[in-house]
Amino acid sequence: MAEARRIGDESRLVSVAYCTKARDDASADVRAEVAAHHRIWGTWRQEQTAIGLAHRLSSQRTVTG
């Protein structure tokens, strides 16, 4: 669970950085943020699978824990 939280935190930081740059300047260079996102998740499918599994785990912990 700790590793999942760490990855989630890192992913959120990258997303915030990307959104902040893009919001402030539509033509901003966001290659570093995109590269960090790919490093964290690999593919879109891997990201979605991880999010789904994390949701299931957190839901089960809430119900049973």
pTM score of the predicted model? 0.68
Q: pLDDT confidence of 29, banded at 50, 70, 90?
A: very high
Res. 42: pLDDT tops 70: yes
Residue 63 pLDDT class (50, 70, 90 cuts): low
The amino acid at residue 46 is Q
pLDDT at 5 over 90: no
Q: Is 43 left (phi over 0), alpha (psi -120 to 50) or beta?
A: beta
List the structure tokens of 55.
């949701």
Q: What is the per-residue pLDDT for 60?
A: 77
Whole-number Å distance between alpha carbons of 11 and 41 = 9
